[in-house]
Amino acid sequence: MKLLLGTTNPGKISDFREYLIHANLELLTLKDIGFWDEPLEIGKTYEENAIQKAKFYADKTEYPTLSDDGGFEVDALDGRPGVESRRWVGPNGTDQDRLDKLFKMMEGEPPERRAARLRTVTAVYFPQERELIMVEEKIEGNMPQKPSPVMIPGFPYRSALFISSYNKCYSEFSAEEHEAVNHRAQACRELLLKLEPYLN
């Protein structure tokens, strides 16, 4: 089965290529099929955005399409930045701008109010069958007093999530540690199980 990855994020594409491995599954990118239109992300939840994107690309291209949405949530900020994680410093904001705003807002907050998580929702939409598959995963941790000096381009909030069981920020994980806890890897494992009926 050919499955279109409805994203232009190279980090996400790399993750999906690594984690969605099945003999009967061929992953396609938007670049592979020469499709450049982009949907509007106007949903109020990760679920709404993931579904909107998957349906947009699937209906336009007629390929079953995977799209996801997610963000960084801080309890002391009532779950913000959440769905605004990429956009909350404006369209021209950088990864550093996002971290700077986040840590400025959290100045003075005590450890017990610094619980945080990375959450992702992944949707696969089948345009012919009009069927939808969804999975959700998260990584729980806490915000340190200052961000990790290690920043991964495109994934700034990994520098703001301290995982106590590893005693370091998520951005500092080795490849093996990253795969063990990565929420996208976990989502892909669950997704492959749900896709199995379509792959036979």
Residues classed as catalytic:
69
Cα 93 from Cα 75, distance rounded (Å): 23
CB 36 within 8 A of CB 43: no
Give the Cα-Cα-Cα angle 108, 149, 185 (nearest 5 degrees): 100
CB 14 within 8 A of CB 52: no
Rg value, the chain, Cα:
17
* Encoded tokens for 62: 């007629």
Q: Is the peptide bond before 197 cis (omega within 30 degrees of 0)?
A: no
C-alpha of 145 from chain center: 24
Which residues contact residue 40 at a Cβ distance below 8 angstroms, ignoring those fewer than 6 apart?
52
Residues paired with 122 in a beta bridge: 68, 135
